[in-house]
A = this chain, B = another copy of it.
């Protein structure tokens, strides 16, 4: 008996023990054993080279919404599903999608420069020289022809304008230039417009994703001087989807807003994204004050604010066309519960070739479907219906998923058990966000997926990352004690938004990343050549995504009692409420202190007189808000979720009777929908999760209350507390009833 044999023996034993002790919430011991076997078979059919080939094929030509390439991709996907044995159809919507007709940006004073507005082809990138690329632009910019002084506004956030005001600089009647980053791009022109700017230019500073971060493409992954981030600037935090058909599906005969000029989520000013090659002469020509600390990028000169001699001319005109939007919908009918749907989606449209965004996620999804197709051939069927979706038009405005969700709203609210989303995917760590009643579910899924680079599960790798990144010894020790996943709360930026925030369908958003950084995002260099070098060279994280999302879909499809645990939802809402109370108290302390400082002239005494800054003005004191309705609602929710969990365990002992209970479980989250939606944006109805009105993709939890507090609208904050308390009480009553 040698040492190697001994080690093998021990490993074998420990693996056996592991398999014996592992459970899956929602399955009996026997059910779990069958499910593990199913997953083993599912996993066997996943192939990294298959994923690589799909990425190469689907990113082989430009395929933005409305293009021939997009139609070709939709049909390619359609045919794949056919071959996998799915029922498949293409749902076509008709959506507004502006594309550029005229794009001019030139400096007219103090010297002249005409912007290239063009990313050059590279010999190292096979697809970079293709025809039919969408030029560099921001979709849903307004038409415009303006000439004005240029002002540098940092990242173009509300607080940047506050500092500009203190510096005595008004952007009214001027054109602003903002850096990409720190906020969703659509916020920049929106805030500029609110401050009276005539136009907005957005550029990628090399500090953020260019040479300051690493070698630039094609030597390395980061943005070269000509790279441009395209992207939408529709005000999606107001509503996403087709701007002409808010709240309803953009079918051929849908009633439409007469003109895009009447849509409340479209800008009135022109916006254009540019490279740092094009930004450099403009920024270098700016005079005026030196840009404050934290505003400067790394181009090799001193950044100034401008509003002086530097003038630019910006002229943009668009084709405001209505184009077809092809959603591919592929179904396998459930054997036991055909009217309970597990929906899995990823978009297929790209700004250009989109090997990373979205094809890396789409390819993983198709690999799942292919593998499920192999299972079908063995005679297997899921208990619940599985719906695999490839959305079109995500890039301009989450169009395909939003129109689908609006079009099928009622049916989805009845039938949709879970929506599982993915998007761009790459090497790194599991990222998972979604409905918090699914935290245990997601933890167990992550526990059972191996990380391709290390010898641990993706759950363990994520835990390790959270441990080493924790900010203090105490936080690290706490993180070591935690065994589960903290699901991120979801804002916007991908196709889960309509399901979760408009319909209250339980949702997950899953992907890998963190070791796939670069500057290709929404540029022509988001290509297969870039992807295979810098994003996921072995396509192993494609397989990890297929495994993760596939297991999630299959488990939810086959679960005996659906693995929703609302005790986690209670905990998270309770935590948010504490945050809001602390936020209000901190704002009260800070306001009092700042007002004391202002009234005692400490700012004027301590500020450099050479900066000629005006002093901050005192703000209204922060009142005490009455959080008691919310706190009492949470007391009720805690009891209701504990009792429901008791009932859940009872059902787990008699799973064959769980049908009606399961339906109650997956429809529960709809109780958190606000009757009239959020203030100023009724499309968003979820009381707990929404994108921020002034942050964009970034989530605001309990947004009605939180944004009212942040905007110092105390009356609205108080109203929103009552409304959130009401939906929480609704949920408690609903769960109480469900527990009987």
Residues of A within 8 A of B (CB): 206-207, 211-216, 220, 222, 290, 296, 298-302, 428-429, 451, 453-454, 456, 460-461, 463-465, 467-469, 473-474, 476-477, 480, 515, 586, 589-590, 592-593, 596-597, 600-606, 608-610
Known A-B contacts A480-B600, A597-B468; A606 and B461 likewise in contact (beta carbons under 8 Å): yes
> Which of chain B's residues have a CB closer than 8 A to the CB of A590?
473
How far, in angstroms, from A464 to B606 measured CA to CA in the complex? 5
In the bound complex, residues from chain B placing their C-beta under 8 Å from that of A592 are 473
Shortest CB-to-CB span from A4 to chain B, Å, is: 22
Cross-chain contact B212 with A606 (CB below 8 angstroms):
no
Closest 9 CB pairs of A and B: A464-B606, A464-B602, A464-B605, A473-B593, A473-B589, A298-B298, A465-B606, A300-B300, A473-B590
In Å, the complex CA distance between A398 and B212 comes to 39
Contacts of A469 in B (CB 8 A): 606
**With A300-B300, A468-B606, A480-B602 already in contact, 14 other A-B pairs whose C-beta atoms are closer than 8 Å:** A207-B298, A212-B296, A214-B290, A220-B290, A451-B605, A454-B605, A461-B605, A464-B602, A469-B606, A473-B586, A473-B589, A473-B592, A477-B596, A480-B596
Q: Nearest chain-B residue to A211 (Cβ)? A: B302
Which of B216, B597, B608 touches A476 (beta carbons < 8 Å)?
B597
In the bound complex, CA of A206 to CA of B303 (Å): 13
Which B residues are CB-close (under 8 A) to A453? 609
Q: How far is the CB of A284 from chain B (nearest CB, A)?
A: 11
A-B contact pairs, 15 of them (CB 8 A): A213-B302, A214-B290, A215-B302, A220-B290, A222-B302, A299-B300, A451-B605, A454-B604, A461-B605, A464-B601, A467-B602, A476-B597, A477-B593, A480-B597, A515-B608
Chain B minimum-CB-distance residue to A534: B610
- Number of this chain's copies in the assembly equals 2
Q: For the complex, give the distance between the alpha carbons of A638 and B264 in Å.
A: 70
A477 to B302, alpha carbons, bound, how many Å?
A: 36
Shortest distance between the CB of A447 and any CB in chain B (Å): 15
| CB <8 Å contact, B298 and A212 | yes
Q: Which B residue's beta carbon lies closest to that of A462?
A: B606
User: Smallest Cβ distance from A532 to chain B, in angstroms?
Assistant: 14
Neighbouring B residues of A206 by C-beta, 8 Å:
300
Contact A211 B464 (CB under 8 A): no
Closest to A468 in B: B606
Residues of chain B within 8 A (CB-CB) of A207 are 298
Report yes or no: A467 in contact with B597, Cβ–Cβ below 8 A: yes
Roughly how many angstroms separate A473 CA and B206 CA in the complex, as a whole number? 35
| A606 touches which of B467, B586, B606, B609 (Cβ 8 Å) | B467
Closest to A589 in B: B473
Which B residues touch A215, using CB under 8 A? 290, 302
Q: A461-B605, A605-B460 are in contact. Are A300 and B298 (CB under 8 A)?
A: yes
Which chain B residues lie closer than 8 Å to A461 at the CB level?
605-606
User: Which B-chain residue is minimally distant from A590 (CB atoms)?
Assistant: B473
Most B C-beta atoms less than 10 A away, residue of A467, A474, A605: A605
Residues on B with C-beta less than 8 A from A222 are 302
Q: Which residue of B lies closest to A452 (CB)?
A: B609
CB-nearest residue of chain B to A460: B605
Q: How many whole Å from A143's CB to the nearest CB in chain B?
A: 36
Q: Min CB distance, A470 to chain B, in Å? A: 9
A704 and B589 CA atoms in complex are apart in Å by: 41
Contact indicator B456/A605 (Cβ below 8 Å):
yes
- The smallest C-beta distance from A406 to any residue of chain B, in angstroms, reads 41
Q: Which residue on chain B has the smallest CB distance to residue A604?
A: B454
When the two chains form their complex, are residues B606 and A302 in contact, meaning their CB atoms are under 8 A apart?
no
The CA-CA distance from A456 to B596 in the complex, in Å, is: 17
Give the chain B neighbours of A610 by CB distance below 8 A.
Answer: 515
CB distance from A367 to the nearest CB of B (A): 23
CB distance from A300 to the nearest CB of B (A): 4
How many angstroms from the CA of A207 to the CA of B302 in the assembled complex? 10
Which residues in B have their C-beta under 8 angstroms from that of A515? 608, 610
